[in-house]
Amino acid sequence: MTAASAPMPAMQIQCLPERSWPLRLGLLGGGQLAKMLAQAASQLGCEVWIAEKESDCPAAAVAARTWVAAWDDLPTLLEFARACDVVSLENEFVPVESLEAMEQQGCTVRPGSNTFRRVRDKWAQKQTLAQAGLPVPTFAEVNGPEDVLAFARIHGWPVLLKARCHGYDGKGNATVHSPEELEPAWQRLGGPRGRRLFVEAFCRFERELAVMVTRAADGRCAVYPVVETVQRNHVCHIVTAPAPVDASVAHRADDIARAAIECIDGVGSFGVELFLEPDGRLWINELAPRVHNSGHYTIEACECSQFENHVRAVLGWPLGSPRMRTPAAAMVNLLGRCQGSGQPIGLEKALAVPGVHVHIYGKKTCAPGRKMGHVTALAETVEEALARAKQAAEAITFGEPTISCQG
Amino acid sequence: MTAASAPMPAMQIQCLPERSWPLRLGLLGGGQLAKMLAQAASQLGCEVWIAEKESDCPAAAVAARTWVAAWDDLPTLLEFARACDVVSLENEFVPVESLEAMEQQGCTVRPGSNTFRRVRDKWAQKQTLAQAGLPVPTFAEVNGPEDVLAFARIHGWPVLLKARCHGYDGKGNATVHSPEELEPAWQRLGGPRGRRLFVEAFCRFERELAVMVTRAADGRCAVYPVVETVQRNHVCHIVTAPAPVDASVAHRADDIARAAIECIDGVGSFGVELFLEPDGRLWINELAPRVHNSGHYTIEACECSQFENHVRAVLGWPLGSPRMRTPAAAMVNLLGRCQGSGQPIGLEKALAVPGVHVHIYGKKTCAPGRKMGHVTALAETVEEALARAKQAAEAITFGEPTISCQG
């Protein structure tokens, strides 16, 4: 915890080159996070370009231009980056080497490859956090199932088996409760195919919390209020703000989150997922090197959203206040239930619920668990906000199912 | 005032045809109003198409597609309208005949030609309001300068001479203080070239007020709080919310504004500009058949903005609440000072002012008086909000001037 309270080092601000007008922000990835980033950037007069594998992505409809490129198509990505004033990203799928290549060509990439390298590989992320004295559950590299068994002998069952890269929304993670469950989990996560895995002690948490941090290039931070997150099938489902924790927990969560983003030298908005144990201890679960689902509520609930602050940070502008403008807020994700079209059904019922803000991402197809949109409600209490957000969210389904599904 | 308190007639809701997904909203006009409408529509998952004379317009950067068409290019406008689920507009330049032609082809146009016809011609607008028993300053058709002199003999000087169509931001209006000023004003407004003019008694107002009203197709209205507007050279410069008027004035303003939009059978968001006399009397100055500068503050200050409510109204969805989420708000326009590029200078200084929200429209060139962006500040009091909004607005200028200008 010493890192959290250490004075912030003075940093050299990387000056952006003399810019043309309009200032062009390039985003690698065109999903809903890019869409919401693009909307914030457009309000500030920036032109937003998107690079994505498919032209038919949520952000394409609100961006000035969309480039279609695979994440390993380096020539196209470099051409894209050279045409932008600043490049940022909305997911973890871009190879670090592509970011490095952009930087070597003189492009401004924020967050940079130095940050990305420390976050994208979850094992490296944990190493970085642990070395900074930050609280992370005990973890170890594993080269075969026998290493997992050895780890469990010391730390007990269950253990978490995780892929080092490319995991999100629970993909790439398995909770292993006994030796019998180990082999199937090892198979599923790709261990036999040479995918690098690691193991982590299971945290018997009381709540899952999250803190969004936006960090500017000069090291200043906007730390958003600590929120509670509730997952459904490992996918973020509900976020309530502020989290129902006492002031000392909130204060420590703030310190830990800030220190975590400092130790990866992050520039932009980052999600810090935390576990809260019954005795009040906090552990860092995971960092997201980008805007994050746990911060969607900030669009309506905070003075300056995680999206606008990300844009401000990566363009070298002063950060806005992360203060809440409402006593309480709740966000409920609109998760797909079936395979089918992306057409929202019941939107008019959701819009009739007082005090709710509905976001439909515009994905063309729906799938079980797919994030299709979200609803944020503001109210005097978390309970009231949550009741409204749930009522609106439950009114919306997506598309005509093409195969049968379970409600 | 009888119209204001009369019970609202039950109306038949015009059902939209079975829609494809994504729902496509077509906007005639691509300026800042279209840009902000497009952002609200995109959040709700709509696809926005723009029709504008130039492809390089503010809304183009945030719309899925931009059609380039002159306002009298009926074949292109019809093709555009047929491809959209609903057509709406952001300015008064589209000929009523074009809207009628779209409707005759079965397109849904909101507000419709029936509304537009009653608003676009300011003389017809005044006739409609007067016939509904609503308070408008005395006015008369004039066919030559002698008719103006006759009007002034009864009502006194000054008088307002106005073009019936195509006026906005003071263009098309002249305050005539004496017989000597009449001839130049008549010349300037195009009277000798056959432009149809009318004359209006001068209102010695204490304050200018405005009320935004969103009206749904079923007749339900969302009436926003009455605000005070301050003009600079006939262009909206400052808006403060709520207006510093007593409850009885605010209540009457609400009633008048609602009745005004009912009597033109409006669907969508409308601006109602009012004069407040020292004795508390209210007069309708003008209606705008679209979202309006006096309602920009609603993006951050109200539960549901004038833009989102316009989208909801024209798509037949339930309206959101127009209630303010903050005790006070102030909006200051960023008006161009010089001819030059549209590049904002000083944005980072403006963003450093606490509690402000900066909107840069992204116009490629600047001109004196041109609306280049706006700043909204929220605070506990109107004075505090105004001080912050002014501080931020004064920090921003646009471009390198190409000709000298007066600060």
3-class DSSP state of B229: strand
Q: Quick check: A5 pLDDT over 70?
A: no
Residue in A42, A341, A347 nearest the CB of B61: A42
- Tell me how long chain B is: 407
Q: Rounded CA gap, B169 and A407, in Å?
A: 54
Which tens digits make up the pLDDT trace of A316-352? Answer: 999 999 999 999 999 999 999 999 999 999 999 999 9
Residue B11: both structure tokens together: 């109306």
Q: Does the CB of B388 have a partner CB in chain A at under 8 Å? A: no
Contacts of A35 in chain B (CB under 8 A): 42
Average pLDDT of the residues in B360-366? 95
Assign B92 a pLDDT band (cuts: 50, 70, 90).
confident
Assign B234 a pLDDT band (cuts: 50, 70, 90).
confident
Per-residue buried b or exposed e for A341-356, using 16+ beta carbons within 10 Å of the residue's own CB: bbbbeebeebbebebb
Residue in B45, B312, B341 nearest the CB of A344: B45
CB B336 within 8 A of CB B359: no
Q: Quick check: B8 pLDDT over 60?
A: no
Contacts of B43 in chain A (CB under 8 A): 39, 358-360
Residue B241: both structure tokens together: 């919310």
Q: Rounded CA gap, A95 and A118, in Å?
A: 13
Q: Quick check: B18 pLDDT over 50?
A: no
Q: Quick check: B402 pLDDT over 60?
A: no
- Inter-chain contact A360–B35, Cβ cutoff 8 Å? no
Residue B317: what pLDDT? 97
Q: Rounded CA gap, B257 and B242, in Å?
A: 15
- Inter-chain contact A355–B317, Cβ cutoff 8 Å? no
Residue in A43, A303, A344 nearest the CB of B355: A303
Closest to A308 measured CA to CA, from A32, A28, A42, A112: A42
Residue B64: what pLDDT? 95
Q: Chain B residue with minimal CA distance to A46? A: B362
Give the Å distances, CA to CA, from B81 to A379, B23, B57: 40, 13, 19
Contacts of B341 in chain A (CB under 8 A): 21
- Phi and psi at residue B105, to the nearest 5°: -85, 5
Assign A3 a pLDDT band (cuts: 50, 70, 90).
very low
Residue B21: what pLDDT? 79
Count of CB atoms situated within 10 Å of the CB of A197 = 24
Q: Rounded CA gap, A306 and A155, in Å?
A: 37
Q: Quick check: B206 pLDDT over 70?
A: yes
- Inter-chain contact B358–A44, Cβ cutoff 8 Å? yes
Contacts of A358 in chain B (CB under 8 A): 43-44
Q: Rounded CA gap, B188 and B201, in Å?
A: 19
Q: Measured between CA atoms, how close is B279 to chain A, in angstroms?
A: 37
Count of CB atoms situated within 10 Å of the CB of B356 = 27
- Tell me how long chain A is: 407
Contacts of B45 in chain A (CB under 8 A): 344, 347, 360-362, 373
Q: Chain A residue with minimal CA distance to B323? A: A355
Residue B15: what pLDDT? 37
Higher pLDDT, A156 or A232: A156
Assign B34 a pLDDT band (cuts: 50, 70, 90).
very high
Residue A232: what pLDDT? 85
- Inter-chain contact B318–A358, Cβ cutoff 8 Å? no
CB A215 within 8 A of CB A266: yes
Which tens digits make up the pLDDT trace of B277-288? Answer: 999 999 999 999
Write down the residue that tokens 């994505």 correspond to.
A52
The pLDDT > 90 percentage for chain A reads 85
**DSSP secondary structure string, A25-93?**
EEEE--SHHHHHHHHHHHHTT-EEEEEES-SSSGGGGGSSEEEE--TT-HHHHHHHHHTSSEEEESSS-
Q: Which residue in A21, A39, A47 has the most chain B C-beta atoms within 10 A of its own C-beta, making it the best mutation to test that interface?
A: A21
Assign A403 a pLDDT band (cuts: 50, 70, 90).
low
Q: Does the CB of A150 have a partner CB in chain B at under 8 Å? A: no
Q: Quick check: B403 pLDDT over 70?
A: no
Q: Measured between CA atoms, how close is B106 to chain A, in angstroms?
A: 23
Write down the ipTM of this complex.
0.91
Write down the residue that tokens 């909203």 correspond to.
B25
Average pLDDT of the residues in A41-47? 97
Higher pLDDT, A296 or A194: A296
Mean pLDDT for chain A overall: 92
Q: Measured between CA atoms, how close is B391 to chain A, in angstroms?
A: 15
Which tens digits make up the pLDDT trace of B163-185? Answer: 998 766 667 889 999 999 999 99
Average pLDDT of the residues in A48-60? 95
- Inter-chain contact B318–A351, Cβ cutoff 8 Å? yes
Q: Does the CB of B365 have a partner CB in chain A at under 8 Å? A: no
Assign A233 a pLDDT band (cuts: 50, 70, 90).
confident
Q: Quick check: A155 pLDDT over 70?
A: yes
Q: Chain A residue with minimal CA distance to B55? A: A64
Give the Å distances, CA to CA, from A80 to A105, A141, A382, A400: 12, 37, 43, 37
Q: Does the CB of A52 have a partner CB in chain B at under 8 Å? A: no
Q: Quick check: A45 pLDDT over 50?
A: yes
Per-residue buried b or exposed e for A311-330, using 16+ beta carbons within 10 Å of the residue's own CB: bbbbbbbbbbebebbbebbb
Q: Quick check: A402 pLDDT over 80?
A: no
Which tens digits make up the pLDDT trace of B110-156? Answer: 999 999 999 999 999 999 999 999 999 999 999 999 999 999 999 99
Assign A90 a pLDDT band (cuts: 50, 70, 90).
very high
Q: Cα B211 to chain center, whole Å?
A: 11
Q: Measured between CA atoms, how close is A35 to chain B, in angstroms?
A: 9
Q: Which residue in B351, B363, B380 has the most chain A C-beta atoms within 10 A of its own C-beta, making it the best mutation to test that interface?
A: B351
Count of CB atoms situated within 10 Å of the CB of B18 = 6
Q: Does the CB of A352 have a partner CB in chain B at under 8 Å? A: yes
Mean pLDDT for chain B overall: 92
Q: Is the dihedral of CA A164, A170, A176, A177 positive or negative?
A: positive
Least confident interval from A159-168, A268-277, B175-184, B225-234: A159-168
Contacts of A361 in chain B (CB under 8 A): 45
CB B202 within 8 A of CB B158: yes
HSE-CB for B149 with a 13 A CA cutoff: 8
Average pLDDT of the residues in A208-233? 96
- Inter-chain contact A61–B43, Cβ cutoff 8 Å? no
**DSSP secondary structure string, B105-116?**
TT--BSS-HHHH
| Structural domains in chain A plus CATH codes | 24-109 (3.40.50.20), 138-201 (3.30.1490.20), 207-398 (3.30.470.20)
Q: Rounded CA gap, B65 and B314, in Å?
A: 19
Residue in A39, A44, A360 nearest the CB of B45: A360
Q: Cα B23 to chain center, whole Å?
A: 25
What is the spatial order of strands in the sheet that A159-163 belongs to? A139-142, A197-201, A159-163, A173-176
Peptide linkage before A242 cis (omega within 30 of 0): yes
Q: Rounded CA gap, B208 and A114, in Å?
A: 56
- Inter-chain contact A21–B47, Cβ cutoff 8 Å? no
Q: Does the CB of B321 have a partner CB in chain A at under 8 Å? A: yes
- Phi and psi at residue A283, to the nearest 5°: -130, 145
Contacts of A60 in chain B (CB under 8 A): 64
Q: Rounded CA gap, A29 and A51, in Å?
A: 6
Q: Quick check: A110 pLDDT over 60?
A: yes
CB A286 within 8 A of CB A120: no
